[in-house]
Structures are given as structure tokens and as C-alpha cells.
């Protein structure tokens, strides 16, 4: 286990040092994060990074493998474009958590702001508390789970993906072109597995699912060619 104190370091220096340490060690602890923006961006590989404190904007952006365990709050755009790994926030996040994420898991133990999961394409985004308006706006895939209250305009312009919510007033807060349906049996199993892994004590049967009105329960495909390319003549 290695410690990294980023006091006095620029964010470029801090991230460079972090990438070097995580490539050689299973666990790295960051001390004195000072709510820095862009901390932990573009990390690849494996290992766990524990951040002792709060961070600013774009925490864990483009994450591709490691686990970020943040013992505090994060600012806007947490996990922007992440493709793999985990981001676990012990407190709250700002708005636009998990924008355009393609894989991995973000877990927010507290509350999150507006536009949770904006344009996300894959992965899991779990908020144990409340979220603001426009949750799931323009999602193209993935799973959002909200166990607290949700703001208005839920799922506006969803293409694909799904939102599981425990908000009893979800029907009154929907955006355009989405509907509320009971959670399916296979979805219960998947959500239960997530709850068990992250030690979340909440009844899965209390959840409802918000899905796109036209496309329904369909997963996002990043690339699905409709024709075969002819090989060149040799």
C-alpha cells in the first residue's frame, strides 16, 4: 500500500504520479486531495485508489479498470466517459454524474444532482439517496438505480437503457416518450446481485422500471454493421 500526498502538486503531476504508483501497487491512498478537479482521470489496469477527502469536477473521467473509493464528495461529471472499473463515493456528487459512461459501476452512497446518467451507454449507476431533475436524459444504454426521491422529467429523450426507481411518485415525474413498468424477474436478479456486492439493504421488489416508450428493454450496441465488407482482390 502506497500513500500519495498531492499537496503542492499540479493536477498533471498528481495524476502522473498516481498512474505510476497504480501500475506497480495494488492499493494507493491519496491524501489531501483538496477538492482537486480531474483527479484520477484516464487510469487503466487494476488496483484500488482510496481518496481521503473530497474531489472536484471530472473525478475518474475515462476510467478503464481500477477502483476509486472516494471518502467524501465529488463535483460535477464524475466518471465522465468511463469504460470499466468502479467509482464509489461515500457522500454526495454534483450534477451530471456518469455522463456518457460505457461500462463499469458508479455507486453514490448519498445524493446526486441533476442529469444523472446523461447520455450513458452502458454500466451501472447506483444512487442510494435522492437525485435532481432530468435523470437518465438521452441515455442510450446501461442501468440507473435510484433509491431515494427523483426530480422531475425522468428519462426525457431516452433511446435505450433502463432506470430502476423506488420513488413512489415516479409516474408524476416522467419526461416525454417513457413509461413505467414493473421490474422484470431477470432484472431483479441482476439488481439483487449488485445490492449484495455493494452491501445495499433495500427491497428489490419495491423498484419500478422506467423504459423508453418505443424501443422498450433493449441494450445499446456500440457497433453493429449491417453489411459485410468485400475483401479486396489480391
221 located within any domain: no
191 located within any domain: yes
CATH of the domain at 20: 2.160.20.60
159 located within any domain: yes
**For the chain, how many structural domains are there in total?**
1
223 located within any domain: no
What's the rounded Cα separation, in Å, for the pair 167 and 130?
A: 9
Decide: 76 and 99 in contact? Cβ < 8 Å.
no
In this structure, what C-alpha cell is assigned to residue 115?
Answer: 442529469
176 located within any domain: yes
Decide: 206 and 219 in contact? Cβ < 8 Å.
no
Quick one: pLDDT at residue 222? 53
Decide: 95 and 113 in contact? Cβ < 8 Å.
yes
234 located within any domain: no
232 located within any domain: no
Quick one: pLDDT at residue 221? 52
Quick one: pLDDT at residue 68? 99
Quick one: pLDDT at residue 215? 66
Q: What is the mean pLDDT of each run of 10 residues along the chain (234 residues)?
A: 96 97 96 97 96 98 98 98 98 98 98 98 98 97 98 96 98 95 97 98 98 70 45 43
Of 96, 95, 39, the C-alpha closest to 69 is 39
Residues spanned by the domain of 208: 2-212
Of 215, 80, 111, the C-alpha closest to 161 is 215
225 located within any domain: no
Quick one: pLDDT at residue 111? 99
Quick one: pLDDT at residue 52? 98
Amino acid at each position: 500500500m502506497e500513500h500519495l500526498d498531492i499537496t503542492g502538486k499540479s493536477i498533471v503531476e498528481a495524476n502522473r504520479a498516481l498512474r505510476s504508483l497504480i501500475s506497480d501497487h495494488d492499493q494507493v491512498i491519496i491524501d489531501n486531495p483538496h477538492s482537486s478537479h480531474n483527479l484520477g482521470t484516464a487510469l487503466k489496469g487494476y488496483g484500488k485508489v482510496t481518496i481521503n477527502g473530497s474531489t472536484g469536477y471530472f473525478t475518474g473521467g475515462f476510467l478503464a479498470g481500477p477502483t476509486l473509493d472516494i471518502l467524501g464528495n465529488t463535483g460535477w461529471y464524475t466518471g465522465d466517459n468511463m469504460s470499466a472499473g468502479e467509482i464509489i463515493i461515500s457522500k454526495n456528487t454534483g450534477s451530471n454524474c456518469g455522463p456518457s459512461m460505457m461500462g463499469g459501476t458508479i455507486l453514490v452512497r448519498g445524493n446526486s444532482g441533476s442529469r444523472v446518467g446523461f447520455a450513458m451507454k452502458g454500466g451501472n449507476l447506483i444512487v442510494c439517496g435522492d437525485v435532481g431533475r432530468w435523470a437518465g436524459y438521452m441515455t442510450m444504454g446501461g442501468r440507473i438505480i435510484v433509491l431515494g426521491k427523483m426530480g422531475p422529467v425522468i428519462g426525457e429523450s431516452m433511446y435505450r437503457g433502463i432506470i430502476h426507481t423506488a420513488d413512489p411518485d415516479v409516474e408524476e415525474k416522467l419526461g416525454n416518450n417513457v413509461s413505467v413498468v414493473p421490474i422484470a424477474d431477470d432484472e431483479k436478479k441482476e439488481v439483487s446481485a449488485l445490492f449484495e456486492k455493494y452491501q445495499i439493504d433495500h427491497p428489490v421488489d419495491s423498484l419500478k422500471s422506467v423504459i423508453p416508450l418505443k424501443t422498450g428493454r433493449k441494450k445499446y450496441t456500440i457497433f453493429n454493421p449491417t453489411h459485410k465488407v468485400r475483401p479486396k482482390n489480391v
